[in-house]
Amino acid sequence: MSWIQKLVQTYDACVGRPQFASQPLVPIDHVEQNAHIEIAIDEDGNFLRAAVVQKEPTLIPVTEKSAGRTSGAVAHPLSDKIRYVAKDFGSDDHELYLKEIRAWSGSSGNATLRAIEKYVERGSVADDLVKVGIMTKLDDGSWKKSWNKEEIKDAPLAKLLTADAKTKERNQGDAFVRWRVEISGKLESAVWKDLELQRDWADFNAKSEIEQGLCLSSGCLAPLAQNHPKRLRHGGDGAKLISSNDTKGFTFRGRFTEADQAYGLSSVATQKAHNALRWLIARQGAKSGDQVVIAWSVKSADAPPVLVDSWQFFRDAGECNEDLPEAIYEGDAGQHFALRLRKAIGGYKQKLDDSADIVVMGLDSATPGRMAILFCREIKEAEFLTRLERWHASLAWPQNMGKDRRFIGAPAPRDIAVACYGQRVDDKLRKATQERLLPCIVDGRPLPRDLVQSAVRRAVNRAALEHWEFERNLGVACSLYRGAHPKESYSMSLDESRTSRDYLYGRLLALADSIEGLALNAAKVQRDTTAARLMQRFADHPHSTWRTIELQLTPYIAQLRSSRAAALQRRQNLIDAVYALFETSEGESAFLDNRPLSGEFLLGFHSQREALKPRRDNSTDGESEAMMEEGDNQ
């Protein structure tokens, strides 16, 4: 239960801290609930007004049973749904609510509680809401439970209610009510912000008789929790991390006879742990459907994000001077990125304590009622930052995620999933990919080989991709291949000394693509080059396919000799230089090897293509202008 202890420690360290005043931790014996209706009354319990609220998170007092309720067997003691609060709605649940608020009001004597109790006992809550046009009745006096599309436009409450999965009806009884009590001389009328009322409820609830037992979190005897909180990821989340209410199933049968033999948590410990977890998810959780990944420091809650690309990592660290699109590729691109990464990591080191524990946790639910911990690691802050730095450095490569997101760095796991499986990857596969990449980021494990191969295959299939999709996938594939082969020490800039066959063939393809692209651009023709169309075939049969591509270049070379002679000559010289770099073994050149290429050829292709793009600060001749045009159209 170390994760529970870490969450309890986080709660104690962060609750009431001034830096979290805008998003405070929820106090003990309270939860946040989305409210739909706000009712204002005076100190004598007279109705004043009501309004529909847009599912605003509202702090409400709860009992242990009501906080974890999955059915209508128990009511909240103050704010609850219409079917609990309104006697005239005709629900049997109203008596449960009256029992709770009477017990609290009788023990407290709080003026706000007395006013709400008086108003509810009159039994006119639902009718008052009908009068102000919030709730709707049919001509026969029954409550309207469904609206068609046209009616919903004129029914503000109906828009906010969730339709039943089976009946598709939106029951008005499920609308949640919060209170505003206007008492003369009292500045705060919003009940959910009343600190005096919060303390009053904590004192009253502490007097409840709860079974004593050994709390495995604190190691002390304390009142044990029988029900554990839910609503961890959002207000409507019914999945629980801890549950043992299925005494007739196989939750703990066969090993234990009672649930507390398997675990025992005090009511205070479980509330602190769940409140801290709920707060951390809302504050800094990375969500993908029902999957959530959070990283936090036990002492201060702050921690670097895990499932983000380098662009977002730098922004979160305060390094917001993104590389300009035209300057993203320079001879010292690797050094510039390394400097920014070092500064970003240094910024986090100043905020955090080297001795502090960092916890990384992944959560997901397979069913609406059960949640599981997919991933949990506890490491020291210094080691965690070292591993993050290694991840972003090892996968660093020029990325093109769109006009506003061109950067050098590692792609986000979400972008990796899209690059591996396509734009329409389903949620399950995307979440599974992120789950597989978490140990690579946090533990420093090698990248899954199948993900690297999948990204390379999809990037190679250029003819089947849109231009923007190819550019994005190419950067991600290069990042993954580079990160999967750390011993090769691939440079982000063009390595003209590298003589490996696959890298050189990638350079040749980029040069052929550039020559034909330059000619097409001069002729103002918009179509794919031969190199682009045959890229997949080239990856499978490089030598034989290169002969086809080379022959197709003949008319374009003739065209460029009269219009772009300098640019053409430069590229032809580079092709000759690449030819000369192919190694010869036993009298046969590696150039004649027709075996399929590895993902390394993408590194050579991308590096050579980027190297052909000019630096805009020294583009003064006609060749540079033509190359700029070419670069803009690639």
What is the tens place of the pLDDT at every residue in 442-479? Answer: 999 999 999 999 999 999 999 999 999 999 999 999 99
Is the separation of the CB atoms in 26 and 279 below 8 Å? Answer: yes
Q: Which of 488, 522, 555 is the last residue of a domain?
A: 488
Q: Measured between alpha carbons, how far is 4 from 15 in angstroms, rounded to an integer?
A: 16
- Strands 588-589, 584-585: parallel, antiparallel or unpaired by DSSP? antiparallel
Regarding whether 523 and 475 lie in a shared domain, the answer is: no
Q: Which of 163, 187, 208 is the last residue of a domain?
A: 208
Q: What is the DSSP string of 130-180?
A: HHTTSS-B-TTSPBP----HHHHHT-HHHHHSPPPTTT----GGG-BEEEE
User: Is there a single domain that holds both residue 204 and residue 326?
Assistant: no
User: What integer is the mean pLDDT of 597-611?
Assistant: 95
Give the number of other Cβ atoms within 10 Å of residue 350's Cβ.
6
Roughly how many angstroms between the first and final C-alpha of the chain, as a whole number? Answer: 54
Residues 513 and 440 in one domain: no
* Same domain flag for 483 and 527: no
Q: Give the pLDDT confidence score for residue 254 in this predicted structure.
A: 63
Is 14 within the bounds of a domain?
Answer: no
Q: Which of 488, 509, 530 is the last residue of a domain?
A: 488
Is the separation of the CB atoms in 595 and 544 below 8 Å?
A: no
Q: Answer yes or no: is pLDDT of 549 > 60.
A: yes
Instruction: Judge if 435 and 380 occupy the same domain.
Output: yes
14 to 60, 101, 299: CA distances (angstroms) = 21, 31, 8
Q: How many CB atoms lie within 10 A of CB 25?
A: 21
Q: Nearest to residue 176, comparing CAs of 41, 39, 76, 82?
A: 82
> 399 and 406 in contact (C-beta within 8 Å)?
yes
C-alpha span between 578 and 193 (Å, rounded): 72
Please give the pLDDT value at position 440. 96
Asked if residue 388 and residue 319 are part of one domain, the reply reads: yes
Averaged pLDDT, 132-147 = 89
Q: Is residue 247 part of a domain?
A: no
Residue 68: which pLDDT band, with cuts at 50, 70 and 90?
confident
41 with 122, same domain: the answer is yes
Residues 380-405: tens digit of each pLDDT: 999 999 999 999 999 999 999 988 88
Helix (H, G, I), strand (E, B) or coil at 407: strand
Spatial separation of the C-alpha atoms in residues 535 and 554, rounded to whole Å: 19
At 402, give phi and psi (nearest 5°).
Answer: 140, 175
Euclidean distance between CA atoms 588 and 501, whole angstroms: 13
Are residue 359 and residue 430 in the same domain, yes or no? yes
When divided into structural domains, the chain yields a total of 3
Q: How many CB atoms lie within 10 A of CB 235?
A: 15
Q: Are residues 444 and 565 in the same domain?
A: no
In a domain, 203, yes or no: yes
| Paired strand residues for 375 | 362
Q: Can you spell out the DSSP letters for 481-498?
A: HHHH-GGG---SS--TT-
Task: Please indicate, yes or no, whether residues 52 and 185 belong to a single structural domain of this protein.
Answer: yes
Per-residue pLDDT at 180? 96
Domain of residue 409 covers 285-488
Residues 293 and 195 in one domain: no
> Averaged over 240-257, what is the pLDDT?
69
DSSP 593: -
In a domain, 570, yes or no: yes
Q: For residues 222 and 297, what is the distance between their CA atoms, to the nearest angstrom?
A: 27
Specify whether 438 is located in the same domain as 577.
no
Query: How many CA atoms does the CB half-sphere of 417 hold within 13 Å?
Result: 21
Percent of the chain past pLDDT 90, that is, above it, reads: 59
382: in domain? yes
Alpha-carbon gap, residue 350 to 385, rounded angstroms: 12
- Lowest pLDDT segment from 46-50, 246-250, 419-423: 246-250
